[in-house]
């Protein structure tokens, strides 16, 4: 029997007396007997915190793949970046952690200003003027972008490069069941989107990825042109770390940017909570999904921040809202602001550069290995796909024995065949290098992979 309840038996008694009641059951007396639980919940009794900790110790030891025990070369939208102690400490400040959505700005300036700073950073990294205060993750941010495109164009066709992460595409397909959007996925050739292979007329959105999920840096000018020509919104799903050095979505001409913000201070976390980045052009501001914080003043003319443009939101606009999102991922947004503040202008560039250096250093060695072939000849940033002489999942399993998480199996990621890969997908491995990987670790990877292939 463990809980966090303050009431003593005396408290309960005197409170019931105040209410003119005899027992706690009286409070539930108006619930029809027919549906009342007769014998409580079918759950074991409570355990003390240390007892529960012992159960969880079993779980954590069964998680062999933790980055603290296995060198991580897996990416695909989830990256093993440095998160310094200072960022953990600040983002764990209980004022940030245990606050609700800032409904009363007078006592929520901390969260509001931190979101404002986050928004500024998202705008800068996306090259687009209007950010929002966060969405669940990149995949659902893409869905919001599609909804925005529908709102802007009145059209239903969503033309999506299959260089967009397979999970994001799958999520888009799922939600299209409700919105009725037609999702058209464009195949890749040699790692690059073959826009010419599909009919983009009447498209609401043209969606490209930068770099694409297989790591390739596509030239997005053609896609932009297509979007312009067809009056579609141009949506870019970009790696925000790349934005430290590569062209921004705005520079490529995007109307909407979406991205995954996990790389900014959030640990791998088995996939969540992550951070859906979103920004758009001013033309779309009234269609913005989710919350946005704006600057204003208080009654003494001091600068103050507040959530604004609330008339778009579900609590006011109800079924006509731009989105249904309410609770989003504020703490991750605040964390991203802190992590980016820690990295600073040149730290982010350095991280991006080191990722690219490490990835290319590994790539150059792998190309020399027997049984390894590059999937494409295109330029890439910090991850790349290789075609192995064996199924990727087998290689991953055998490299795991040497405490190396070799990467991601592209067929596992795609859940089967996928228009992004035109060779035997089972043998394709997606390999990622972050700034945390040392030369020794990379060299070790090469040796372990060589072994795995010859075993």
Partner 1 sequence: MSGAPFPGGRAASAPLMGHETEPTLFEMSVASRSAYQLRTTGVPATALSELVPAAHLNPEVVPIAEVSERDLVAHFTRLSHRQFSVDLGMYPLGSCTMKYNPKFCDAIAGDPGLNAVHPGAPASLSQGWLEILVTLEEKLCAVTGMSAATLQPAAGAAGELTGLLLMRAYHEAKGDHRRRVLIPDSAHGTNPASVTLGGYEVTTVPSNERGLVDLEALKSALGPDVAGIMLTNPNTVGLFEEEITEIANAVHDVGGLLYYDGANLNAILGAVRPGDMGFDIVHMNLHKTFATPHGGGGPGAGPVAVAPHLVEFLPGPRATRVGDGYFDWVAPTRSIGRVHGWHGNALVLARALAYIDVHGGDGLTRVAQHAVLNANWLRHRLRDILPAAYDRVCMHECTLTATSLKNKYGVRGLDVAKALLEEGFHSPTVYFPLIVEEALMFEPTETESVQTLESLAQALERIAERAQVDPDSLRRAPQSTPVSRVDEARAARQLIATADAIR
Ligand X SMILES: Cc1ncc(COP(=O)(O)O)c(C=O)c1O
DSSP codes, 112-134? HHHHHHHHHHHHHHHT-SEE-S-
- Rule CB under 8 A: choose which of 156, 400, 446, 450 binds partner 1: 400
452 is an interface residue for partner 1 by CB under 8 A: no
Q: How far is the CB of 292 from ligand X (least distance, A)?
A: 16
Provide CB contacts within 8 A for 312, sequence distance 6+: 286, 287, 288, 289, 321, 322, 323
390 is an interface residue for partner 1 by CB under 8 A: no
> Is the Cβ of residue 29 or residue 97 nearer to a copy of itself in the bound state?
97
140 is an interface residue for partner 1 by CB under 8 A: yes
- Rule CB under 6 A: choose which of 54, 326, 389, 397 binds ligand X: 326
- Rule CB under 8 A: choose which of 3, 154, 368, 370 binds partner 1: 3
82 is an interface residue for a copy of itself by CB under 8 A: yes
Q: Whole-angstrom Cα distance, residue 189 to residue 430?
A: 17
Site size for a copy of itself (CB under 8 A): 8
Q: Which of 216, 215, 214, 218 is nearest to 206 (CA)?
A: 218
With beta carbons less than 8 A apart as the criterion, state whether 152 and 158 touch.
no
302 is an interface residue for partner 1 by CB under 8 A: yes
Site size for partner 1 (CB under 8 A): 223
- Rule CB under 8 A: choose which of 15, 24, 69, 89 binds a copy of itself: 89
295 is an interface residue for partner 1 by CB under 8 A: yes
> Is the Cβ of residue 97 or residue 326 nearer to ligand X in the bound state?
326
Positions 265 through 284 that interact with a copy of itself (CB under 8 A): none
> Is the Cβ of residue 209 or residue 230 nearer to partner 1 in the bound state?
209
Query: HSE-up of 350 (CA within 13 Å, CB side)?
Result: 9
Q: How far is the CB of 307 from partner 1 (least distance, A)?
A: 8
The backbone torsions φ and ψ at residue 190, rounded to the nearest 5 degrees and listed phi first, read 50, 40
Provide CB contacts within 8 A for 73, sequence distance 6+: 362, 404, 405, 406, 407, 431, 432, 433, 437, 445
- Rule CB under 8 A: choose which of 338, 372, 449, 453 binds partner 1: 338
Q: Whole-angstrom Cα distance, residue 183 to residue 99?
A: 38
Q: Which of 142, 180, 140, 134 is nearest to 161 (CA)?
A: 142
Q: Looking at 129-137, 153-161, 418-426, 444-452, which segment touches partner 1 (CB under 8 A)? A: 129-137
Strand, coil or helix: what is 191?
Answer: coil
Q: Whole-angstrom Cα distance, residue 237 to residue 248?
A: 11
> Is the Cβ of residue 230 or residue 330 nearer to partner 1 in the bound state?
330
- Rule CB under 6 A: choose which of 104, 299, 300, 327 binds ligand X: 327
Provide CB contacts within 8 A for 158, sequence distance 6+: 146, 149, 172, 176, 181, 182, 183, 184, 203, 204, 205, 207
Q: How far is the CB of 100 from ligand X (least distance, A)?
A: 9
End-to-end, the C-alpha distance of the chain in Å comes to 53
50 is an interface residue for a copy of itself by CB under 8 A: yes
Name the site residues for a copy of itself (rule: CB under 8 A).
49-50, 82, 84-85, 89, 94, 436
Name the site residues for ligand X (rule: CB under 6 A).
326-327
């Amino acid at each position: 029997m463990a809980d966090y309840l303050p009431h003593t038996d005396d408290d309960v008694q005197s409170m019931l007396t105040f209410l003119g009641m005899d027992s706690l059951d009286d409070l539930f007396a108006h619930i029809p007997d027919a549906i009342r639980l007769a014998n409580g919940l079918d759950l074991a009794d409570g355990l003390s915190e240390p007892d529960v900790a012992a159960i969880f110790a079993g779980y954590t030891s069964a998680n062999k793949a933790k980055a603290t025990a296995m060198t991580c070369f897996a990416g695909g939208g989830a990256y093993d970046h440095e998160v310094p102690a200072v960022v953990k400490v600040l983002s764990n400040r209980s004022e940030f952690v245990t606050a609700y959505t800032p409904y009363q700005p007078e006592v929520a300036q901390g969260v509001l200003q931190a979101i404002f700073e986050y928004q500024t950073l998202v705008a800068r990294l996306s090259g687009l003027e209007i950010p929002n205060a966060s969405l669940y993750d990149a995949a659902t941010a893409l869905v919001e972008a599609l909804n925005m495109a529908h709102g802007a164009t009145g059209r239903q066709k969503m033309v999506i490069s299959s260089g967009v992460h397979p999970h994001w595409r799958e999520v888009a397909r799922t939600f299209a069941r409700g919105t009725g959007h037609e999702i058209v996925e464009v195949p890749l050739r040699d790692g690059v989107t073959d826009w010419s292979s599909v009919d983009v007329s009447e498209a609401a959105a043209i969606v490209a990825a930068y770099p694409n999920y297989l790591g390739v840096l596509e030239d997005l000018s053609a896609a932009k042109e297509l979007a312009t020509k067809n009056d579609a919104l141009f949506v870019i799903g970009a790696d925000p770390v790349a934005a430290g050095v590569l062209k921004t979505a705005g520079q490529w001409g995007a109307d909407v940017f979406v991205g995954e913000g996990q790389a900014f201070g959030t640990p791998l976390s088995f996939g969540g909570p992550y951070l859906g980045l979103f920004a758009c052009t001013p033309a779309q501001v009234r269609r913005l999904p989710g919350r946005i914080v704006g600057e204003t003043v208080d009654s003494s003319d001091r600068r103050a921040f507040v959530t604004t443009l609330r008339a778009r939101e579900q609590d006011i606009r109800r079924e006509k809202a731009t989105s249904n999102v309410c609770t989003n991922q504020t703490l991750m947004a605040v964390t991203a602001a802190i992590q980016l503040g820690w990295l600073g202008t040149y730290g982010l560039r350095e991280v991006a550069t080191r990722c690219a250096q490490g990835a290319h250093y590994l790539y150059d060695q792998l190309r020399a290995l027997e049984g390894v072939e590059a999937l494409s000849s295109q330029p890439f940033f910090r991850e790349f796909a290789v075609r192995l002489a064996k199924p990727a999942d087998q290689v991953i399993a055998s490299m795991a024995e040497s405490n190396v998480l070799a990467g991601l199996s592209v067929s596992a990621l795609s859940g089967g065949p996928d228009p992004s890969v035109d060779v035997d997908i089972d043998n394709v491995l997606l390999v990622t290098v972050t700034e945390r990987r040392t030369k020794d670790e990379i060299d070790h990877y090469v040796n372990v992979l060589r072994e795995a292939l010859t075993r």
